[in-house]
Amino acid sequence: MTILLLGSGGREHAFAWKMIQSPLCDTLYVAPGNAGTASIATNVAISPTDFDAIKSLVLDKKIDMVVVGPEDPLVKGVFDFFKNDDQLAHIPVIGPSKIGAQLEGSKEFAKEFLVKHNIPTAAYDSFTAETVEEGCAFLSTLKPPFVLKADGLAAGKGVLIIQDLAEAQEELRNMLVGQKFGAASSKVVIEEFLDGIELSCFVLTDGKSYKILPTAKDYKRIGEGDTGLNTGGMGAVSPVPYVDAVLMEKIETRIVKPTIEGFQKDGIEYKGFVFIGLINVNNEPIVIEYNVRMGDPETEVVIPRLKTDLVELFLAVSNEKLDQISLEVDERSATTVMLVSGGYPEDFEKGKVMTGFDTITDSIVFHAGTKLEGNDVVTNGGRVMAITSYGATFPEALAKSYKNIEKIHFDKMNFRKDIGNDLL
Ligand code: AMP
Ligand code: GLY
Protein backbone atom coordinates (compact mmCIF):
# COMPACT_ATOMS: atom_id res chain seq x y z
CA MET A 1 0.00 0.00 0.00
CA THR A 2 0.93 3.60 -0.49
CA ILE A 3 0.00 5.62 2.60
CA LEU A 4 -0.15 9.35 3.30
CA LEU A 5 0.29 10.58 6.87
CA LEU A 6 -0.74 14.16 7.73
CA GLY A 7 1.19 16.10 10.39
CA SER A 8 4.68 17.08 11.47
CA GLY A 9 5.17 16.35 15.16
CA GLY A 10 6.65 13.66 17.37
CA ARG A 11 3.31 11.87 17.17
CA GLU A 12 3.62 11.62 13.39
CA HIS A 13 7.25 10.42 13.53
CA ALA A 14 6.11 7.69 15.95
CA PHE A 15 3.23 6.68 13.61
CA ALA A 16 5.62 6.67 10.64
CA TRP A 17 8.23 4.64 12.55
CA LYS A 18 5.59 2.00 13.33
CA MET A 19 3.83 1.99 9.94
CA ILE A 20 7.00 1.40 7.90
CA GLN A 21 7.62 -1.73 9.98
CA SER A 22 4.46 -3.20 8.45
CA PRO A 23 4.78 -5.52 5.44
CA LEU A 24 1.56 -3.88 4.22
CA CYS A 25 3.25 -0.48 3.84
CA ASP A 26 5.25 -0.18 0.61
CA THR A 27 5.55 3.58 0.40
CA LEU A 28 4.89 6.26 3.00
CA TYR A 29 4.44 9.98 2.35
CA VAL A 30 4.28 12.49 5.18
CA ALA A 31 2.80 15.97 4.74
CA PRO A 32 4.61 18.06 5.80
CA GLY A 33 6.67 15.87 8.17
CA ASN A 34 9.96 16.75 9.87
CA ALA A 35 13.63 15.73 9.61
CA GLY A 36 12.83 12.46 11.38
CA THR A 37 10.09 11.41 8.97
CA ALA A 38 12.33 12.51 6.07
CA SER A 39 14.86 9.86 7.16
CA ILE A 40 12.35 6.99 6.89
CA ALA A 41 9.66 8.22 4.47
CA THR A 42 9.09 10.89 1.82
CA ASN A 43 8.12 14.33 3.07
CA VAL A 44 5.85 16.47 0.92
CA ALA A 45 5.63 20.21 1.63
CA ILE A 46 1.84 20.40 1.91
CA SER A 47 -0.18 21.75 4.83
CA PRO A 48 -2.52 19.15 6.43
CA THR A 49 -5.41 21.61 5.97
CA ASP A 50 -4.81 22.32 2.28
CA PHE A 51 -7.38 19.77 1.05
CA ASP A 52 -7.03 20.64 -2.64
CA ALA A 53 -3.27 20.09 -2.54
CA ILE A 54 -3.84 16.84 -0.64
CA LYS A 55 -6.27 15.69 -3.32
CA SER A 56 -3.74 16.35 -6.07
CA LEU A 57 -1.06 14.45 -4.18
CA VAL A 58 -3.35 11.49 -3.44
CA LEU A 59 -4.33 11.15 -7.11
CA ASP A 60 -0.79 11.75 -8.39
CA LYS A 61 0.89 9.23 -6.05
CA LYS A 62 -2.02 6.73 -6.10
CA ILE A 63 -2.36 6.85 -2.31
CA ASP A 64 -4.39 3.97 -0.82
CA MET A 65 -4.96 5.32 2.68
CA VAL A 66 -4.72 8.61 4.58
CA VAL A 67 -3.85 8.71 8.28
CA VAL A 68 -4.54 11.99 10.06
CA GLY A 69 -2.31 13.00 12.99
CA PRO A 70 -3.50 16.41 14.28
CA GLU A 71 -7.02 17.70 15.03
CA ASP A 72 -7.08 20.69 12.66
CA PRO A 73 -7.76 18.85 9.39
CA LEU A 74 -10.30 16.63 11.17
CA VAL A 75 -12.25 19.56 12.60
CA LYS A 76 -12.09 21.19 9.16
CA GLY A 77 -13.65 18.05 7.68
CA VAL A 78 -10.94 16.11 5.82
CA PHE A 79 -12.90 12.86 6.30
CA ASP A 80 -16.02 14.33 4.65
CA PHE A 81 -13.92 15.99 1.94
CA PHE A 82 -12.77 12.53 0.83
CA LYS A 83 -16.16 10.89 1.28
CA ASN A 84 -17.95 13.51 -0.83
CA ASP A 85 -15.44 13.54 -3.70
CA ASP A 86 -16.07 11.00 -6.49
CA GLN A 87 -12.37 10.54 -7.13
CA LEU A 88 -11.47 10.11 -3.44
CA ALA A 89 -14.50 8.41 -1.90
CA HIS A 90 -12.95 4.91 -2.07
CA ILE A 91 -9.81 5.95 -0.15
CA PRO A 92 -10.01 5.30 3.59
CA VAL A 93 -9.23 8.20 5.92
CA ILE A 94 -8.25 7.28 9.47
CA GLY A 95 -9.97 9.88 11.62
CA PRO A 96 -13.54 10.87 12.50
CA SER A 97 -16.06 12.65 10.30
CA LYS A 98 -16.44 16.40 10.66
CA ILE A 99 -19.35 16.03 13.05
CA GLY A 100 -17.40 13.46 15.13
CA ALA A 101 -14.44 15.85 15.27
CA GLN A 102 -16.73 18.38 16.96
CA LEU A 103 -16.10 16.38 20.15
CA GLU A 104 -12.79 18.24 20.19
CA GLY A 105 -13.79 21.23 18.04
CA SER A 106 -16.58 22.36 20.38
CA LYS A 107 -16.57 21.93 24.16
CA GLU A 108 -20.34 22.53 24.19
CA PHE A 109 -20.93 19.78 21.60
CA ALA A 110 -18.81 17.42 23.71
CA LYS A 111 -20.72 18.28 26.90
CA GLU A 112 -24.10 17.76 25.19
CA PHE A 113 -22.91 14.38 23.87
CA LEU A 114 -21.69 13.33 27.34
CA VAL A 115 -24.92 14.33 29.07
CA LYS A 116 -27.12 12.78 26.37
CA HIS A 117 -25.36 9.43 26.69
CA ASN A 118 -25.16 9.45 30.49
CA ILE A 119 -21.39 9.52 30.59
CA PRO A 120 -20.00 10.97 33.83
CA THR A 121 -18.76 14.55 33.38
CA ALA A 122 -18.53 17.75 35.42
CA ALA A 123 -21.73 19.82 35.75
CA TYR A 124 -21.71 22.78 33.36
CA ASP A 125 -23.57 25.53 31.58
CA SER A 126 -22.59 27.50 28.48
CA PHE A 127 -22.85 31.19 27.66
CA THR A 128 -22.45 33.66 24.78
CA ALA A 129 -21.93 37.45 24.59
CA GLU A 130 -25.72 37.88 24.82
CA THR A 131 -25.88 35.91 28.08
CA VAL A 132 -22.63 37.12 29.66
CA GLU A 133 -24.39 38.59 32.72
CA GLU A 134 -26.22 35.29 33.30
CA GLY A 135 -22.80 33.63 33.11
CA CYS A 136 -21.47 35.99 35.79
CA ALA A 137 -24.49 35.22 37.97
CA PHE A 138 -23.98 31.46 37.39
CA LEU A 139 -20.35 31.80 38.53
CA SER A 140 -21.50 33.36 41.80
CA THR A 141 -23.54 30.19 42.55
CA LEU A 142 -20.43 27.97 42.22
CA LYS A 143 -17.61 27.24 44.65
CA PRO A 144 -14.06 28.23 43.60
CA PRO A 145 -11.93 27.42 41.72
CA PHE A 146 -13.86 28.37 38.59
CA VAL A 147 -13.27 26.53 35.30
CA LEU A 148 -13.84 28.56 32.10
CA LYS A 149 -13.44 26.83 28.73
CA ALA A 150 -13.42 28.50 25.33
CA ASP A 151 -15.81 26.46 23.18
CA GLY A 152 -13.57 26.18 20.09
CA LEU A 153 -10.00 25.13 19.32
CA ALA A 154 -7.56 27.47 21.09
CA ALA A 155 -4.27 25.61 20.67
CA GLY A 156 -4.53 24.10 24.16
CA LYS A 157 -4.77 27.52 25.83
CA GLY A 158 -8.55 27.91 26.04
CA VAL A 159 -9.08 26.61 29.59
CA LEU A 160 -8.76 29.00 32.55
CA ILE A 161 -8.90 27.89 36.19
CA ILE A 162 -9.38 30.85 38.50
CA GLN A 163 -9.66 31.10 42.32
CA ASP A 164 -11.23 34.53 42.67
CA LEU A 165 -14.89 35.14 41.72
CA ALA A 166 -14.44 38.74 40.53
CA GLU A 167 -11.45 37.72 38.42
CA ALA A 168 -13.40 34.81 36.94
CA GLN A 169 -16.27 37.13 36.02
CA GLU A 170 -13.83 39.56 34.40
CA GLU A 171 -12.19 36.76 32.41
CA LEU A 172 -15.61 35.54 31.29
CA ARG A 173 -16.30 39.03 29.90
CA ASN A 174 -12.83 39.09 28.28
CA MET A 175 -13.54 35.79 26.57
CA LEU A 176 -17.12 36.46 25.44
CA VAL A 177 -17.11 40.19 24.77
CA GLY A 178 -13.38 40.90 24.43
CA GLN A 179 -12.82 37.86 22.16
CA LYS A 180 -9.78 36.83 24.21
CA PHE A 181 -9.44 33.64 22.13
CA GLY A 182 -11.01 35.08 18.99
CA ALA A 183 -13.96 33.16 17.58
CA ALA A 184 -13.01 30.16 19.76
CA SER A 185 -14.34 32.02 22.82
CA SER A 186 -17.55 33.38 21.29
CA LYS A 187 -19.10 30.67 23.47
CA VAL A 188 -17.76 29.63 26.89
CA VAL A 189 -18.46 26.52 28.93
CA ILE A 190 -18.37 27.07 32.70
CA GLU A 191 -17.72 23.82 34.49
CA GLU A 192 -17.64 22.43 38.02
CA PHE A 193 -14.05 22.01 39.25
CA LEU A 194 -13.04 18.39 39.76
CA ASP A 195 -10.40 17.59 42.34
CA GLY A 196 -8.50 14.41 41.57
CA ILE A 197 -5.76 12.77 39.53
CA GLU A 198 -5.80 13.30 35.77
CA LEU A 199 -5.39 10.39 33.40
CA SER A 200 -5.95 9.68 29.73
CA CYS A 201 -7.55 6.78 27.94
CA PHE A 202 -6.76 6.12 24.27
CA VAL A 203 -9.19 4.22 22.09
CA LEU A 204 -9.08 3.16 18.46
CA THR A 205 -12.52 2.55 16.93
CA ASP A 206 -14.08 1.57 13.63
CA GLY A 207 -17.34 3.14 14.85
CA LYS A 208 -18.75 -0.20 16.06
CA SER A 209 -16.08 -2.00 18.02
CA TYR A 210 -13.03 -0.59 19.70
CA LYS A 211 -9.62 -1.37 21.18
CA ILE A 212 -8.37 0.33 24.31
CA LEU A 213 -4.71 1.20 23.82
CA PRO A 214 -2.06 1.21 26.57
CA THR A 215 -2.49 3.92 29.22
CA ALA A 216 -0.13 6.90 29.33
CA LYS A 217 0.41 10.00 31.45
CA ASP A 218 1.91 13.20 30.13
CA TYR A 219 3.58 16.12 31.88
CA LYS A 220 2.04 19.36 30.70
CA ARG A 221 3.86 22.12 32.60
CA ILE A 222 7.22 23.52 31.51
CA GLY A 223 8.74 23.46 34.99
CA GLU A 224 9.84 20.71 37.35
CA GLY A 225 7.28 19.76 40.00
CA ASP A 226 4.53 20.63 37.51
CA THR A 227 5.08 24.38 37.74
CA GLY A 228 5.06 27.20 35.20
CA LEU A 229 3.23 27.54 31.91
CA ASN A 230 1.33 24.82 30.09
CA THR A 231 3.05 23.21 27.11
CA GLY A 232 1.99 20.63 24.55
CA GLY A 233 3.61 18.03 26.81
CA MET A 234 7.14 17.58 28.17
CA GLY A 235 7.30 13.82 28.58
CA ALA A 236 5.20 10.71 29.06
CA VAL A 237 5.12 7.34 30.79
CA SER A 238 3.25 4.16 29.75
CA PRO A 239 1.68 2.24 31.39
CA VAL A 240 0.41 4.45 34.23
CA PRO A 241 1.16 2.44 37.39
CA TYR A 242 -1.89 3.59 39.39
CA VAL A 243 -4.44 2.58 36.75
CA ASP A 244 -5.46 -0.86 37.96
CA ALA A 245 -7.93 -3.37 36.51
CA VAL A 246 -10.80 -2.13 38.70
CA LEU A 247 -10.41 1.47 37.51
CA MET A 248 -9.94 0.35 33.90
CA GLU A 249 -13.15 -1.67 34.09
CA LYS A 250 -15.04 1.41 35.30
CA ILE A 251 -13.54 3.50 32.50
CA GLU A 252 -14.53 0.93 29.92
CA THR A 253 -18.11 0.28 31.06
CA ARG A 254 -19.04 3.82 32.08
CA ILE A 255 -17.14 5.82 29.50
CA VAL A 256 -15.66 3.96 26.52
CA LYS A 257 -18.64 1.70 25.70
CA PRO A 258 -21.27 4.46 25.99
CA THR A 259 -19.07 6.74 23.87
CA ILE A 260 -18.88 4.25 20.99
CA GLU A 261 -22.58 3.39 21.38
CA GLY A 262 -23.26 7.13 21.36
CA PHE A 263 -21.60 7.41 17.94
CA GLN A 264 -23.95 4.73 16.61
CA LYS A 265 -27.08 6.15 18.23
CA ASP A 266 -26.30 9.64 16.92
CA GLY A 267 -25.24 8.42 13.46
CA ILE A 268 -21.72 9.83 13.90
CA GLU A 269 -19.26 8.20 11.53
CA TYR A 270 -16.06 7.65 13.50
CA LYS A 271 -13.06 5.67 12.28
CA GLY A 272 -10.08 6.77 14.26
CA PHE A 273 -8.65 7.57 17.65
CA VAL A 274 -10.57 8.88 20.64
CA PHE A 275 -8.40 10.34 23.39
CA ILE A 276 -10.48 10.72 26.54
CA GLY A 277 -9.20 13.07 29.24
CA LEU A 278 -10.39 11.98 32.69
CA ILE A 279 -10.11 13.06 36.29
CA ASN A 280 -10.25 10.29 38.87
CA VAL A 281 -12.25 11.63 41.81
CA ASN A 282 -12.26 9.15 44.73
CA ASN A 283 -11.85 6.28 42.25
CA GLU A 284 -14.69 7.51 40.05
CA PRO A 285 -13.48 8.41 36.55
CA ILE A 286 -15.11 11.58 35.18
CA VAL A 287 -14.61 12.92 31.64
CA ILE A 288 -13.15 16.41 31.25
CA GLU A 289 -12.53 16.36 27.51
CA TYR A 290 -12.48 14.42 24.30
CA ASN A 291 -9.75 14.74 21.68
CA VAL A 292 -10.26 13.17 18.29
CA ARG A 293 -6.62 12.21 17.72
CA MET A 294 -3.76 10.67 19.65
CA GLY A 295 -1.90 12.69 22.27
CA ASP A 296 1.57 14.07 21.75
CA PRO A 297 3.90 13.01 23.47
CA GLU A 298 1.71 10.10 24.64
CA THR A 299 1.91 8.55 21.15
CA GLU A 300 5.69 8.34 21.54
CA VAL A 301 5.18 5.85 24.42
CA VAL A 302 1.91 4.16 23.41
CA ILE A 303 2.86 3.25 19.83
CA PRO A 304 6.26 1.72 20.75
CA ARG A 305 4.40 -0.62 23.14
CA LEU A 306 2.04 -1.90 20.43
CA LYS A 307 3.17 -5.24 19.03
CA THR A 308 0.24 -5.45 16.62
CA ASP A 309 0.82 -4.19 13.08
CA LEU A 310 -0.49 -0.60 13.00
CA VAL A 311 -1.36 -0.68 9.29
CA GLU A 312 -3.33 -3.89 9.84
CA LEU A 313 -5.19 -2.10 12.64
CA PHE A 314 -5.93 0.89 10.36
CA LEU A 315 -7.17 -1.42 7.60
CA ALA A 316 -9.48 -3.14 10.09
CA VAL A 317 -10.73 0.28 11.20
CA SER A 318 -11.58 1.24 7.63
CA ASN A 319 -13.25 -2.16 6.91
CA GLU A 320 -15.13 -2.13 10.22
CA LYS A 321 -13.42 -5.38 11.21
CA LEU A 322 -11.58 -4.20 14.29
CA ASP A 323 -13.35 -6.88 16.35
CA GLN A 324 -11.41 -9.54 14.41
CA ILE A 325 -8.01 -8.29 15.54
CA SER A 326 -6.40 -8.92 18.90
CA LEU A 327 -4.22 -6.20 20.32
CA GLU A 328 -0.81 -7.29 21.54
CA VAL A 329 1.05 -5.03 23.91
CA ASP A 330 4.70 -5.07 25.00
CA GLU A 331 4.90 -5.78 28.74
CA ARG A 332 7.77 -3.36 29.18
CA SER A 333 7.38 0.26 30.24
CA ALA A 334 8.10 3.01 27.79
CA THR A 335 9.00 6.56 28.71
CA THR A 336 9.75 9.64 26.68
CA VAL A 337 11.45 12.93 27.53
CA MET A 338 10.82 15.93 25.30
CA LEU A 339 13.71 18.23 24.38
CA VAL A 340 12.45 21.77 23.83
CA SER A 341 13.82 25.09 22.61
CA GLY A 342 14.98 27.52 25.32
CA GLY A 343 12.15 29.98 26.04
CA TYR A 344 9.33 27.61 24.99
CA PRO A 345 6.33 27.81 25.52
CA GLU A 346 6.94 31.54 25.17
CA ASP A 347 9.19 33.05 22.47
CA PHE A 348 12.07 30.90 21.28
CA GLU A 349 14.58 30.85 18.44
CA LYS A 350 14.63 28.29 15.64
CA GLY A 351 17.39 27.08 13.33
CA LYS A 352 19.76 25.71 16.01
CA VAL A 353 22.01 22.95 14.67
CA MET A 354 21.46 19.65 16.50
CA THR A 355 24.21 17.09 17.15
CA GLY A 356 24.64 13.75 18.88
CA PHE A 357 21.13 12.34 18.45
CA ASP A 358 22.30 10.11 15.58
CA THR A 359 24.75 8.25 17.86
CA ILE A 360 21.98 6.90 20.10
CA THR A 361 21.32 3.19 19.80
CA ASP A 362 19.35 2.07 22.86
CA SER A 363 16.61 4.72 22.78
CA ILE A 364 14.26 5.73 19.97
CA VAL A 365 14.71 9.30 18.78
CA PHE A 366 11.40 10.78 17.62
CA HIS A 367 11.76 14.15 15.91
CA ALA A 368 9.11 16.83 16.53
CA GLY A 369 10.06 20.40 15.56
CA THR A 370 13.08 19.64 13.38
CA LYS A 371 13.95 20.16 9.75
CA LEU A 372 16.79 19.48 7.34
CA GLU A 373 18.97 22.39 6.31
CA GLY A 374 21.58 21.14 3.88
CA ASN A 375 23.19 18.25 5.75
CA ASP A 376 22.24 19.60 9.16
CA VAL A 377 19.21 18.84 11.29
CA VAL A 378 18.09 22.12 12.87
CA THR A 379 15.41 23.04 15.38
CA ASN A 380 12.14 24.19 13.86
CA GLY A 381 9.67 24.40 16.75
CA GLY A 382 9.17 24.62 20.50
CA ARG A 383 9.07 20.89 21.10
CA VAL A 384 12.04 19.53 19.20
CA MET A 385 12.68 15.87 19.90
CA ALA A 386 11.29 13.06 22.09
CA ILE A 387 13.70 10.46 23.46
CA THR A 388 11.81 7.21 24.07
CA SER A 389 13.19 4.20 25.94
CA TYR A 390 11.96 0.81 27.10
CA GLY A 391 12.63 -0.70 30.53
CA ALA A 392 11.41 -3.51 32.77
CA THR A 393 10.18 -0.65 34.98
CA PHE A 394 9.55 2.98 34.10
CA PRO A 395 12.50 4.27 36.21
CA GLU A 396 14.78 1.95 34.24
CA ALA A 397 13.37 3.29 30.97
CA LEU A 398 13.71 6.89 32.15
CA ALA A 399 17.34 6.37 33.20
CA LYS A 400 18.09 5.29 29.62
CA SER A 401 16.38 8.35 28.12
CA TYR A 402 18.24 10.70 30.47
CA LYS A 403 21.60 9.00 29.81
CA ASN A 404 21.12 9.36 26.06
CA ILE A 405 19.99 12.98 26.30
CA GLU A 406 23.50 13.79 27.57
CA LYS A 407 24.75 12.98 24.06
CA ILE A 408 22.42 15.48 22.37
CA HIS A 409 23.29 19.16 21.97
CA PHE A 410 21.70 22.28 20.57
CA ASP A 411 21.90 25.89 21.73
CA LYS A 412 19.48 26.60 24.65
CA MET A 413 18.20 23.01 24.81
CA ASN A 414 15.80 22.50 27.73
CA PHE A 415 13.98 19.48 29.17
CA ARG A 416 12.32 18.41 32.42
CA LYS A 417 14.50 16.30 34.70
CA ASP A 418 11.61 14.99 36.81
CA ILE A 419 9.43 13.03 34.38
CA GLY A 420 7.79 10.16 36.28
CA ASN A 421 8.87 11.37 39.75
CA ASP A 422 5.26 11.73 40.89
CA LEU A 423 4.65 8.04 40.12
CA LEU A 424 7.46 6.69 42.32
P1 AMP B 1 -9.08 20.50 28.75
O2 AMP B 1 -8.55 21.29 27.58
O3 AMP B 1 -10.55 20.42 28.84
O4 AMP B 1 -8.37 19.19 28.93
O5 AMP B 1 -8.56 21.31 30.03
C6 AMP B 1 -7.19 21.60 30.22
C7 AMP B 1 -6.78 21.27 31.64
O8 AMP B 1 -7.60 21.96 32.55
C9 AMP B 1 -6.97 19.81 31.98
O10 AMP B 1 -5.88 19.05 31.59
C11 AMP B 1 -7.15 19.88 33.47
O12 AMP B 1 -5.89 19.97 34.11
C13 AMP B 1 -7.88 21.15 33.68
N14 AMP B 1 -9.32 20.96 33.78
C15 AMP B 1 -10.21 20.96 32.77
N16 AMP B 1 -11.47 20.76 33.23
C17 AMP B 1 -11.38 20.68 34.58
C18 AMP B 1 -12.32 20.49 35.62
N19 AMP B 1 -13.63 20.40 35.39
N20 AMP B 1 -11.86 20.41 36.87
C21 AMP B 1 -10.53 20.53 37.14
N22 AMP B 1 -9.60 20.71 36.21
C23 AMP B 1 -10.00 20.78 34.93
N1 GLY C 1 -0.41 15.74 25.37
C2 GLY C 1 -1.69 16.25 25.33
C3 GLY C 1 -2.28 16.40 23.98
O4 GLY C 1 -1.79 15.87 23.01
O5 GLY C 1 -3.31 17.05 23.89
Ligand 1 neighbour 122 (Cβ under 6 A): yes
Q: What is the pLDDT of residues 314-335, one digit of tens each?
A: 999 999 999 999 999 999 999 9
Q: Distance between CA atoms of 214 and 329, rounded to whole angstroms?
A: 7
Q: Distance between CA atoms of 190 and 209, rounded to whole angstroms?
A: 33
Ligand 1 neighbour 206 (Cβ under 6 A): no
Q: What is the pLDDT of residues 8-44, one digit of tens each?
A: 999 999 999 999 999 999 999 999 999 999 999 999 9
Q: Distance between CA atoms of 78 and 83, rounded to whole angstroms?
A: 9
Q: 3-state DSSP: the chain helix, strand, coil percent, rounded to 5?
A: 35, 30, 40
Which of the residue ranges 86-90, 179-183, 294-298, 420-424 would you say has the lowest mean pLDDT? Answer: 179-183
pLDDT at 230: 87
CATH code that applies to domain 2-95: 3.40.50.20
Q: Which residues pair with 332 in a beta bridge?
A: none
The domain limits of the chain are 2-95, 123-191
Burial of 46 (0-12, 13-18, 19+ CB in 10 A): buried
Q: How many angstroms is it from 21 CA to the middle of ligand 2?
A: 25
Is the pLDDT score of 155 beyond 80? no
| Architecture per CATH, 123-191 | 2-Layer Sandwich (3.30)
**Closest listed residue to residue 294, CA positions, set 285, 306, 308:** 306
Alpha carbon separation from 110 to 99, 126, 266, 281 (Å, rounded):
11, 12, 13, 20
Q: How many angstroms is it from 375 CA to the middle of ligand 2?
A: 31
Q: Distance between CA atoms of 341 and 380, rounded to whole angstroms?
A: 9
* Predicted structure pTM score: 0.95
Is the pLDDT score of 154 beyond 80? yes
Q: What is the pLDDT of residues 173-217, one digit of tens each?
A: 999 988 888 888 889 999 999 999 888 999 999 999 999 999 999
Mean pLDDT (the chain) is: 96
pLDDT at 182: 82
Q: How many angstroms is it from 281 CA to the middle of ligand 1?
A: 13
